[in-house]
Each structure stands twice: as structure tokens, then as C-alpha cells.
């Protein structure tokens, strides 16, 4: 399946300036594994070395938070968009 | 690339002061007299910088920052151009191996080894672990000897986290090193990190029942300071208790006469005199504010037999801030500059061993760590 990972501006320098990255993956986890191979600096901004999504990173498949779906096992439909969202959290 | 050369005595030299804050890092520079501080704008914005380091070995001048972004996680970055730019490898500079089932939370300490190991840099991290780099601090590997220590499952996190916060490579013997962690205490190696032993004899765990107050390990050591020319002499600031060891941690003895409080986070040995050390006492751990609400460094000039307050040039009333465990440093110059940063975002400096202090910076985010060096 071909999907697109969409990055916030702050992460684009970690992906060579790209804002949209095409991935050939059938799940969210497989998409991030592809990022780990192609853009390791970007991928480790999203997941720790255990492969767990960082606490204040959210991934939305279209309009749905993957934590409300099947997490990393969430299937990626053909042509879907996976949005990387910095959570609105954290204090000051 | 043209590197700067480190010197200890030169009219032409300048001081580089690296300031890690809760929201980024600042590089400050001055002539060695400290009369004209120039500060770069805050960099690594929105990253907590608990550990900074400066490597001046072998003609190199490399700055390090252990930066943890609340969204994007922790890393180590370095700069070879005095903060013009910061770099990191694509692969994580520090990552726990898969079999450990651990993940890096923060880098608390970045410490170059001695001149005898010019490529070696150590990092103390959270969760409790020590990492070693052999390529000048670009990439690190877990020191298994400490991570596999049978005490590790019993080390507890301090209020700030499960941090290995102090790394003191021996200045002349690469086989020896001291580390300290909260709350596990002091550990030392005599075989280059292959094996480690607890070195807490004499340090009190005040919160324990009376008959159990001197355990083998588990003490909440907040910071160690070692004199570079007398490495057997080590000072310790504990969660209650200031101590000295003259035998590389084999035994510790309280040195608290004249102190208004034995609680605090930081301790610094003066490189010009092994009998001189500095601390920043805080009133009881239930307050964690300076006694008399005055910003005062306490100094000993007799190895801790007595302590005296130093406040000239520092705020002397209505002061509620604190100095954290890596918030004080020296530039190892001659004479040595001493610097400390506060949670108020101030940085102060002295060139006369604390007799008088001047303001280097103010209104920064909370200062978490400082390191300085004299460079040509």
C-alpha cells in the first residue's frame, strides 16, 4: 500500500526538508520502520529505541488518532495520509 | 579545520562558558578577566539541557549538550565552531541496546576522559547508566559492567529521576573512575569499567531507621567534586550531608562545621587549591531555598574543617532560587574562574575564588548546567 506521512514544519529538517514522505507499508508500524531505514534521525524523534511512540507525539490516520484505532498495527489504506502531530501538552 | 588551542596562562586567552537551561543552551564568551561577556542567543530552543560539556583535549574545542525535547526526545549534540552550529549523527548517539528493554530519558552528564584517552567521552544518563564514546563523543556504547551490576535493580529514582549524574574519570589512570547516582550512591571502578564497587562507607542515609543508616549503597548523593591534581581528594554534597574522602571514596567523613544547612545539590573543588571547595546550601529539603533568603556560596579553605559565606555581588535579601547539581563549574584557568547558574536564570562569576561575584547573565530560563574553559 502506498500512503503518505505528513510532517509538521519543525521535523522537516530531519527529513531533508520534505514535508510529505511516501511510504510503501501496510501498517503504521511498518511505515515508521521504513522511516527508520530512510530517515533515521526523523524516526527517532517519533519513537524511542524500544519502538514506542514518544509520549507527546500523536499520529493521526486521516482524522483519527491511531491510539483510538489499533496503534502501530493500524492498517494503512491505499492513498491514506498519516499525520505526525506534536501533542498540545507539556507545560512551560 | 582550524582548532583553537587550550592554554592555562595567557593574556590573550578567553573564557567560553556553556550554559544549559530548561529551554535551550547559551554560549557565552569573555576575555579572561571576565570584563566583557558576549552571549549568543538561546539555541536548541525548547530542549531541556541537563548536561553540557567542553572537550579541550588534543587541540580540540568541542562543545556538547545533552538535549531533551519534550516532544521529540533526548539526544546529544556537539559543536566544533563555538555554537555556530550543532550536529548529531542520524543514528542515535546514545541508545540502550535492545536486550536491556530500556530507553534513554535524559543525558545528565557529559564528561571527557583524561588526556591519556583523547577520544574517550563518557555520558551519565537516565535511567541509571553510563555510556562511553571512543570517537570523541559522536557515538556512545553502554558500559555493561555498571549496567549489569547486581545492585542496579535496587537503585531508586531521586525526585529528579533515576539519574547517573556525576562521572569523574581519573585524571591520570584510565582504569579508575568514580560515578554517582541518585539514589544509589557512589560507585568506583579500578579496571576501566569492567567491574564496579559501591564506595559509600561513612555516608549516611538519613531517612533510614537508625540501625540501617549506613548501608552499602542507596545513599542519595547529589554531586561529587574531585580535585584534578589530587584525585584521592573528593567532596560530596548529599541529600543532607557534606562529606570528604581522602582515599578515593574508600571512606567518607562529614565536613559540616559552620554550615547553615547540610542540604544542597552542588559542590565544586577549586582547581588551584585542594583545600578549597564551594557549595550552595539550601534550607531543609522541605523548603529548598537559601538560608536567610540570601544568595550565598559557602566556601571552605581548610578541606571542610570550616565553611564561610560569600555574598559580595550576590542578591542578599528576598532570594528564593537554588543552584542545581550541575549548576557550578570552574574554567580551570590560572587564576581559576568559578561560575554558577540559578533557577532564576542568572549566572554569576568570580575570579578571586569567591571574594566577589559579578553577573554574567540574567533572565535566562532556569539554569540546569554550566561548564567553562579557557581557550586561546
CA-based nearest distance A79→chain B, Å? 27
User: What are the pLDDT digits (tens) for B191-215?
Assistant: 999 999 999 999 999 888 888 999 9
Helix (H), strand (E), coil (C) string for chain A: CEEEEECCHHHHHHHCCCCEEEEECCEHHHHHHHHHHHCHHHHHHHECCCCCECCCEEEEECCEEHHHCCHHHCECCCCCEEEEEECCCCCC
- A-chain CB neighbours of B98 within 8 Å are 49-50
ipTM passes above 0.85 = yes
Q: Which of A46, A49, A90 sits opposite B96 (nearest CB)?
A: A49
pTM of the model: 0.95
Question: Mean pLDDT throughout A58-69?
Answer: 97
Question: Mean pLDDT throughout B248-253?
Answer: 98
Question: Mean pLDDT throughout B90-97?
Answer: 97
- A-chain CB neighbours of B101 within 8 Å are 50
Question: Mean pLDDT throughout B215-237?
Answer: 96
Q: How big is the A-B interface in CB pairs under 8 Å?
A: 41
Best CA proximity match to B203, nearest among B221, B189, B188, B226: B221
The confidence score (pLDDT) of residue B160 equals 87
Percent of chain B with pLDDT strictly greater than 90? 90
Best CA proximity match to A41, nearest among B69, B51, B112: B69
Amino acid at each position: 500500500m502506498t500512503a503518505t506521512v505528513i510532517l509538521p514544519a519543525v521535523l522537516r529538517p530531519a527529513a531533508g526538508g520534505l514535508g510529505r514522505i511516501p511510504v510503501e507499508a501496510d501498517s503504521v508500524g511498518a511505515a515508521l520502520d521504513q522511516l527508520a531505514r530512510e530517515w533515521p534521525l526523523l524516526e527517532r524523534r517519533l519513537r524511542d529505541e524500544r519502538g514506542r511512540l514518544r509520549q507527546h507525539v500523536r499520529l493521526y490516520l486521516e482524522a483519527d488518532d491511531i491510539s483510538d484505532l489499533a496503534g502501530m498495527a493500524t492498517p494503512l489504506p491505499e492513498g491514506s495520509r498519516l499525520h505526525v502531530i506534536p501533542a498540545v501538552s507539556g507545560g512551560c | 579545520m582550524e582548532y583553537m588551542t587550550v592554554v592555562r596562562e595567557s593574556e590573550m586567552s578567553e573564557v567560553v562558558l556553556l550554559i544549559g537551561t530548561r529551554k535551550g543552551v547559551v554560549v557565552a564568551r569573555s576575555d579572561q578577566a571576565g570584563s566583557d561577556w558576549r552571549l549568543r542567543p538561546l539555541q536548541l530552543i525548547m530542549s531541556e539541557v541537563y548536561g553540557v560539556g567542553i572537550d579541550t583535549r588534543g587541540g580540540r574545542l568541542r562543545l556538547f549538550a545533552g538535549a531533551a525535547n519534550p516532544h521529540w526526545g533526548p539526544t546529544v549534540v556537539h559543536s566544533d565552531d563555538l555554537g555556530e552550529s550543532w550536529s548529531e549523527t542520524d543514528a542515535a548517539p546514545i541508545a540502550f541496546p535492545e536486550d536491556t528493554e530500556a530507553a534513554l530519558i535524559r543525558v545528565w552528564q557529559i564528561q571527557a576522559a583524561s588526556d591519556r584517552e583523547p577520544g574517550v567521552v563518557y555520558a551519565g544518563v537516565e535511567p541509571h547508566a553510563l555510556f562511553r564514546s571512543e570517537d570523541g563523543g559522536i557515538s556512545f556504547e553502554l558500559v555493561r559492567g555498571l549496567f549489569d551490576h547486581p545492585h542496579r535493580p535496587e537503585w531508586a529514582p531521586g525526585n529528579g529521576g533515576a539519574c547517573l549524574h556525576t562521572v569523574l574519570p581519573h585524571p591520570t589512570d584510565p582504569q579508575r573512575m568514580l560515578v554517582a547516582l541518585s539514589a544509589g550512591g557512589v560507585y568506583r571502578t579500578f579496571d576501566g569499567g569492567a567491574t564496579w564497587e559501591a564506595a559509600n562507607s561513612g555516608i549516611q542515609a538519613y531517612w533510614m531507621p537508625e540501625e540501617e543508616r549506613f548501608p552499602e549503597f542507596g545513599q542519595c548523593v547529589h554531586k561529587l567534586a574531585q580535585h584534578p591534581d589530587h584525585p584521592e581528594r573528593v567532596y560530596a554534597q548529599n541529600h543532607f550531608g557534606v562529606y570528604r574522602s581522602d582515599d578515593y571514596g574508600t571512606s567518607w567523613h562529614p565536613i559540616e562545621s559552620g554550615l547553615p544547612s547540610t542540604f544542597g545539590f552542588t559542590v565544586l573543588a577549586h582547581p588551584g587549591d585542594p583545600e578549597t571547595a564551594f557549595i550552595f546550601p539550601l534550607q531543609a529539603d522541605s523548603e529548598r531555598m537559601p538560608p536567610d533568603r540570601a544568595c550565598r556560596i559557602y566556601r571552605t579553605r581548610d578541606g571542610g574543617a570550616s565553611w564561610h559565606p560569600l555574598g559580595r555581588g550576590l542578591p542578599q535579601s528576598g532570594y528564593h532560587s537554588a543552584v542545581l547539581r550541575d549548576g557550578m563549574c570552574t574554567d580551570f584557568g590560572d587564576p581559576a574562574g568559578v561560575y554558577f547558574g540559578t533557577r532564576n536564570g542568572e549566572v554569576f562569576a568570580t575570579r578571586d575564588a569567591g571574594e566577589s561575584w559579578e553577573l554574567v547573565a540574567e533572565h535566562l530560563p532556569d539554569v540546569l548546567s554550566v561548564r567553562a574553559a579557557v581557550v586561546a
